[in-house]
A = this chain, B = another copy of it.
């Protein structure tokens, strides 16, 4: 990763803390629905990290493949994106 590297690391570190917080809630027998709300917050945070990685991937890995004129690399980049799209849709 390039421009979003530090931002991603910061968010991942916060995410780790959020997961630990959920474990603590379960240990303290907190109400299930409150636990589910925190899990939803983690899912949203995870989406944020994912967005940072995708944007970085687009701005660097994909741009590099375009600039290289290397057809195999370009096709690989398309295939990867199509796979990600397929997983995101399911």
Residues of A near any B CB (own CB < 8 A): 1, 5, 8-9, 12-13, 15-16, 19-20, 22-23, 26-27, 29, 31-33, 35-36, 39-40, 42-43, 46-47, 49-51, 53-54, 56-58, 60-62, 66, 69, 71, 74-75, 77-78, 80-82, 84-90
What are 22 residue pairs bridging A and B, where the CB atoms are less than 8 Å apart in the complex?
A1-B26, A1-B29, A1-B35, A5-B26, A12-B26, A15-B19, A16-B23, A31-B61, A35-B53, A36-B53, A36-B57, A42-B46, A43-B46, A47-B90, A51-B86, A54-B82, A74-B74, A81-B81, A84-B85, A85-B85, A85-B88, A88-B88
Q: Are A39 and B49 in contact (CB under 8 A)?
A: yes
